[in-house]
Chains A and B, each alone.
Chain A
Amino acid sequence: MNSYKADLHIHTVLSPCGDLDMSPKTIVDKALAKGLDIIGITDHNSTKHCKLIKQIAEKEGVFTLMGAEVTTKEEVHCLAFFENFNQLDDFQKYIETFLPPIENDVDKFGYQAVVDENEDIIELEKYLLLSGLNQSIDEVEQKVHSLNGLFIPAHIDRPSFSISSQLGFIPFDLNIDAFEVSAKGKIEHLKEVINVHKDKCIIRTSDAHYPNQIGEAYCSFIMQHRTFEEIRMALKKENGRTVILS
């Protein structure tokens, strides 16, 4: 088995709250500088930078999980990851179908820019990506799994936009692949919060919005190779694979 250093929650310049310096190239450069083997690209309600970052990162030997940080109807933030471009495109269409048509106010929320490999802006996302999709957490979870994806409730230790703050407790029958805890979140008390899901894997990420935050929190994936299925096995602690918190 090998140990791979992973930071699975990184925003880009496309997220309104993401720093303008968070271009695909900068993210890959920082990931390399921090010695990350795996990165996860998770903009708010958009997957539009994933393919470009995957192309740039994998030339440099950094494995990229493509996905998004979805906001559900209940305003719960959840990470979703997909293995290939077709599944990613399908999920992007799903997001666009259910994102409320509320326009982004750039002065208040910031730019939502899609850029190319030269860091030139090729598209400005019109609708505010922070809005909640008109889909319940159960519907989002089912969509993610119908596309063979991974479904991970985000920063469950936080008092806002987390599954525990919005829903009081974690639904017993929700099909969860892992939980995410924030960069400095304590995990001792979380065993009670996650209750019947207590055997599920917990990952720690940076939730980076600025270049310097990339890799500031991470976890180590113990597995054979860097593939989507190996990562799934590590999250499920199957066949000797596992995840170790930093």
Chain B
Amino acid sequence: MTVNELVKQLRLQVFGGEQGLSNEITGGYTSDLLSDVMGHADSGKVWITLQTHKNVLGVASLKELAAVILIKNLQPDNDMLNQAQQEGIPILGTGKAAFEISGELYNLLKK
């Protein structure tokens, strides 16, 4: 599944990093500790988080993640958006909490 298909299926907002919408998704990872994501997320994962610091994109780029989903209607900081454009990693948004959106992503990828 590509990020673009995920956006349609889970009705996500696209904040930026549209160049990466064709990225292929291999799974998901939910965490708000950036050091944890650096240590444990693999390439191709979609990262679900409430952190809106630009370092999120630094970590996502380092780990070659497919996309980032911000939960609970959180808005990306401006420098986070700029970083997303530079790195070409989509920042997506949902009104749901981490538990719900993680469950939906899990069910979708399990099919």
Is this pair of chains taken from one and the same complex?
A: yes
| A interface, CB within 8 angstroms of B | 73-74, 136-138, 159, 164-169, 171
A136 touches B77 (CB 8 A): yes
Q: Give me 17 A-to-B residue pairs in the complex whose CB atoms sit less than 8 angstroms apart, sorted by A's number.
A: A73-B52, A74-B51, A136-B52, A138-B53, A138-B77, A159-B35, A165-B34, A166-B35, A167-B34, A167-B35, A167-B53, A168-B37, A168-B55, A168-B59, A169-B34, A169-B58, A171-B53
Q: Is B108's beta carbon under 8 Å from chain A?
A: no
Q: Is B33's beta carbon under 8 Å from chain A?
A: yes
A-B contact count (CB 8 A): 37
| B interface, CB within 8 angstroms of A | 33-35, 37-38, 51-55, 58-59, 77, 79
Select the residue from A164, A168, A171 with max chain B CB neighbours within 10 A.
A168
Secondary structure type dominating chain B contacts: helix
Instruction: Decide yes or no: A166 and B77 within 8 Å by CB, A136-B53, A171-B54, A171-B55 being known contacts.
Output: no
Residues of chain B within 8 A (CB-CB) of A138 are: 53, 77, 79
A77 to chain B, nearest CB (A): 14
- A166–B52 CA distance with the chains assembled, in angstroms: 12
B33 touches A166 (CB 8 A): yes
- A159–B38 CA distance with the chains assembled, in angstroms: 13
A168 touches B77 (CB 8 A): no
A168 touches B38 (CB 8 A): yes
A165 touches B33 (CB 8 A): yes
B66 to chain A, nearest CB (A): 18
The 7 closest A-B pairs by CB, nearest first: A168-B34, A167-B55, A168-B59, A168-B38, A165-B35, A167-B34, A168-B35
A60 to chain B, nearest CB (A): 42
Q: Which residue of A lies closest to B79 (CB)?
A: A138
Q: Which residue of A lies closest to B80 (CB)?
A: A136
- A138–B38 CA distance with the chains assembled, in angstroms: 21
A168 to chain B, nearest CB (A): 3
Residues of chain A within 8 A (CB-CB) of B38 are: 168-169
Q: Which residue of B lies closest to A75 (CB)?
A: B32
- A82–B37 CA distance with the chains assembled, in angstroms: 35
Residues of chain B within 8 A (CB-CB) of A159 are: 35
Which of A74, A164, A165 is in CB contact (< 8 Å) with B53? A74
